A and B are shown apart, each in its own frame.
Chain A
């Protein structure tokens, strides 16, 4: 079974731009969660989607948004990029979320200049 895939793997943007990241979960998984990982803050929860609906949301500004498609693939969008948005963005899929084990993708390394 193929693992979680994320595209692109690396991205360089400038302040004020917007970016869209993509995540394809493991086949059969309906829950997709997004995390931001930085050296100073560790792994922080952004949001979780299940069956095309945002089920949970972390404490991030509205510039961070996401969506999930009927095939469970998910996208995350960050608008008006700031230098502090530079991070590794990880997506994790699970069968149904909740206490199900999450399986992480390789991440997208975003650098904002």
Chain B
């Protein structure tokens, strides 16, 4: 059974810093990996989707990398802003069945 973990559980940084969020998965046979952000009281917003054949995906100040062999993905946020404060989750789809596997999330606070 796939297990997805995210470290750290919480992170607090001053505005302007570059930061890295980590996501690990136990079964490397994945179709893709998706990063989301969730603001308090809101739904999950898709940030980036990396296909299994890709190593990186970029959107603005966000860069996600994928290393299937080591079971890891990182989300790099450049020049962090207070508006980046949210919970970030990673998820991988199922190989069978309907259960997407979600990490437990990293709660990010960017201090002005």
Binding between chains A and B: no
Chain A interface (Cβ < 8 Å from any Cβ of B): none
